[in-house]
Amino acid sequence: MLQLYFFPMACSLASRIALMEAGLDVHYHLAHIWTKKVVDDGSDFLGVSPKGAVPVLVLENGERLTESAAVLQYIADVKPEAGLAPAFGDPDRYRLQEWLSFVGAEIHKAFLFPTFWCKDDGSLAKPRARVAETLSMPATHLADREFLVGNRFTVADAHLTWALLLLRPAGVDIAQWPSLSAYLERMQARPAVREAIATEMALRKTMAASPA
Ligand SMILES: N[C@@H](CCC(=O)N[C@@H](CS)C(=O)NCC(=O)O)C(=O)O
C-alpha cells in the first residue's frame, strides 16, 4: 500500500486530494514539519526524508518519492483510468508539468513559503508586490476554462487548489480574481476535494498555526 507523509493543510494536501480523487488506499503518516518528528511514533522525520519536507510518498517497493510535481504525477500514473494526468506523449502532459512547476515555484516557493516561514522584517515586500502579477496568470487562463489542463480535473488542479486555499491565511483576498474564486468554489464542490480538506482542517485545528 502507498504511504503518504503529510502535514495538515501544507502542500501535501494536493497529494491527498489526488490520492482521494484516484480512490487509492493509502496509509497516512502525520509528519511535524517544525519538530521533524513523525507523530505516529515519535520517530525522526529526517530519517524518512533528509529534506524534512512533505509530501513524501512511500511507493509499493519501499522507495520514497519527494517533490509535489513528481509525487502528483506518480499518483496519477498509478491509476491512469482516473484521468488525473494526460498520458506521456500527449502534448497536454507538458502543459500539466508547466502548471505543476508554476504552482510549486512561482506561487508556493516565491510567495506562500516566505509568507509563512520568514519574519516580516521588510523582506516580504517583494514577494507580496509580485503575487498579484503571478496570480493573474492562472486567473486569465481560467477565465474561460473549467480546469487548468484539458477538460477534466488533473493533479495540476489539486496543486493549484491547495495554493489558492492558503492565500487567505497569507493575507491575499482571492475575490480580486473572480475566475479564481469561481474555480476554487468549483474545486471545493468535488467530493474528494471537500473530504480531503475537511480531514486536514479537523487535524489542523488540533495543532498550532502551520506554515506552507
Ligand atoms: N519543493 C517541494 C516543497 C515542499 C515543502 O516546502 N513542503 C513544506 C510544507 S508546504 C515543508 O514541509 N516544509 C518544511 C521545511 O522546509 O522544513 C514540493 O513541491 O514538494
Residue range(s) in the chain whose domain bears CATH number 1.20.1050.10: 92-192
Mean pLDDT to the nearest integer, 139-156: 98
pTM value?
A: 0.95
The label of the residue with cell 495543532 reads: 207
Ligand 1 atom at minimum distance from 12 CA: 10
Look up the CATH architecture of domain 92-192. Up-down Bundle (1.20)
DSSP reduced 3-state for 9: coil
Percent of the chain at pLDDT above 70?
A: 98
pLDDT score of 55: 98
Distance 101 CA to ligand 1 centre (A): 14
Peptide bond into 86 cis (omega under 30): no
Q: How far, in Å, CA of 176 to CA of 12, rounded?
A: 26
User: What residue ranges line ligand 1, CB within 6 angstroms?
Assistant: 10-11, 33, 52-55, 67-68, 104, 212
Closest residue (by CA) to atom 15 of ligand 1?
A: 53
> Residue 111, SS3?
helix
Read off the pLDDT of each residue in 34-59 and give the average, rounded to a whole number: 97
Residue 103 and residue 4: Cα distance in Å, rounded? 20
Distance from residue 84's CA to the centre of ligand 1 (Å)? 22
Residue 54 alpha carbon to ligand 1 centre in Å: 5
Q: Among 36, 108, 118, 166, which residue has the most ligand 1 atoms within 8 Å of its CB, making it the best to mutate?
A: 108
pLDDT digits (tens, 9 = 90+) for 60-107: 999 999 999 999 999 999 999 999 999 999 999 999 999 999 999 999
Phi-psi region of 69 (alpha: psi -120 to 50; beta: other; left: phi over 0): alpha
Highest CATH level, class, for 2-84:
alpha beta
Among protein residues, the one whose CA lies closest to atom 16 of ligand 1: 53
How close is the Cα of 168 to the center of ligand 1, in Å? 19
CA–CA separation, 121 and 24 (whole Å): 43
Q: How many CB atoms sit inside 10 A of residue 132's CB?
A: 12
**Ligand 1 centroid, distance to 113 Cα (angstroms):** 8
- Which residue shows C-alpha cell 496568470? 137
Q: Boundaries of CATH 3.40.30.10 in the chain? A: 2-84
Mean pLDDT estimate for the chain: 95
